[in-house]
């Protein structure tokens, strides 16, 4: 199982912290660097943060975990992602989903009723752009091409049977969106079987890639760090929701991280992405020490 480390996308920080996180992750032994997405929040812009990471790293895979696709213009986003894929020499894997924040849809004037269909249509439009099919009759294609030719690897952040069936038509794999707060090895194992079945039902012979993301905390007071971050992240949903999520999760602390990583490995996860709950770059060193890597 590969292990990737996320950037502190949802936590206020500055240039020095950002560059330190990127360089420390690229030094290894992490296999990838991930960037999360949320619009109506005090967070960095996904495409800008991803481009910076592509420029200052040389080795690690780059992930979006997960980009809310329906709120974006498909042609523009395809151009941005192909550019980043070129900038990173083909290290990009694009994770996309419908997201869970209605305010992001409201802020962009995007209809929410048909967002699953919108995601499918956006993926099709992006693939047309990447294969150099002109989006406007009488004009040329939108460049650049992706680094690997005609596509960027796509991972779908979906979980339900219908969503999996749709993703099996266009994705290279699935990033399970249900493990972020409380990673459960058995649930992951069961979900992986559903993903494999969806691919088989779609007539696909290849085994789908399967990944997951999880928040973690290893600071001086891991529980306080974890709870505070969740409280800030879910503040707009009310104190009751924040408290519920915080109490339910065992992800914080060394034991919680070790158990989660072990459970994901046993479940057959290909890539586990660790999302930090602090902007302190020392968290990377703490994670390495706990995991013995």
Calculate the alpha carbon distances from 142 to 3, 71, 204, 259 in Å: 34, 20, 30, 46
The three-point CA angle 282-84-177 to 5° equals 60
- Side-chain-side CA neighbours of 221 within 13 Å: the count stands at 5
186-234 pLDDT, tens digit each: 999 999 999 999 999 999 999 999 999 999 999 999 989 998 898 888 8
Average pLDDT value for residue range 248-256 = 82
Enumerate helices (H) and strands (E) in the chain, giving the number of each.
11, 8
276, 216 Cβ separation under 8 angstroms: yes
- Whole-number pLDDT of residue 234: 84
Q: In 3-state terms, what secondary structure has residue 287?
A: helix
172-198 pLDDT, tens digit each: 999 999 988 889 999 999 999 999 999
14-66 pLDDT, tens digit each: 999 999 999 999 999 999 999 999 999 999 999 999 999 999 999 999 999 99
- Whole-number pLDDT of residue 242: 62
- Whole-number pLDDT of residue 241: 63
> Is the Cα dihedral 106, 107, 111, 117 positive or negative?
negative
d(CA 285, CA 279): 13
Checking if the pLDDT of 6 tops 80, the result is yes
- Whole-number pLDDT of residue 100: 87
Select from 4, 15, 5, 20 the least CA-distant residue to 280: 20
0.75 exceeded by pTM: yes
d(CA 250, CA 226): 10
Right CATH number for 2-291 from 3.90.79.10, 2.30.40.10, 3.30.56.10, 3.20.20.30? 3.20.20.30
Q: In 3-state terms, what secondary structure has residue 237?
A: helix
Q: What is the mean pLDDT of the chain?
A: 94
């Amino acid at each position: 199982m590969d292990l990737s480390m996320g950037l502190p996308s949802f936590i206020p920080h500055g240039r020095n912290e950002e560059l330190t996180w990127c360089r420390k992750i690229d030094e290894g032994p992490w296999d990838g660097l991930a960037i999360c997405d949320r619009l109506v929040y005090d967070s960095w812009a996904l495409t800008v943060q991803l481009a910076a990471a592509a420029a200052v790293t040389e080795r690690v895979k780059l992930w979006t975990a997960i980009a809310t696709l329906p709120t974006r213009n498909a042609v523009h986003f395809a151009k941005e992602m192909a550019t980043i894929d070129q900038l990173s020499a083909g290290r990009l894997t694009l994770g996309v989903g419908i997201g869970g924040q209605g305010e992001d849809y409201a802020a962009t004037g995007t209809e929410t009723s048909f967002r699953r269909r919108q995601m499918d249509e956006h993926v099709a439009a992006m693939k047309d752009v990447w294969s150099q099919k002109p989006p406007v009759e009488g004009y040329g294609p939108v460049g650049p091409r992706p680094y690997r030719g005609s596509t960027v690897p796509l991972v779908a952040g979906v979980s339900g049977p219908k969503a999996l069936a749709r993703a099996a038509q266009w994705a290279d794999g699935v990033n399970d969106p249900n493990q972020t707060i409380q990673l459960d090895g058995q649930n992951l194992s069961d979900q992986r079987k559903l993903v494999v079945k969806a691919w088989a039902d779609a007539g696909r012979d290849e085994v789908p890639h399967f990944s997951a993301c999880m928040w973690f905390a290893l600071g001086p007071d891991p529980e306080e760090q974890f709870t505070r971050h969740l409280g800030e992240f879910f503040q707009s949903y009310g104190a009751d929701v924040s408290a519920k999520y915080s109490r339910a999760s065992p992800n914080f602390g060394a034991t919680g991280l070790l158990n989660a990583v072990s459970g994901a490995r046993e479940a057959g996860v290909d890539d586990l992405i660790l999302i930090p709950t602090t902007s302190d770059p020392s968290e990377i060193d703490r994670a390495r020490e706990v995991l013995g890597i």
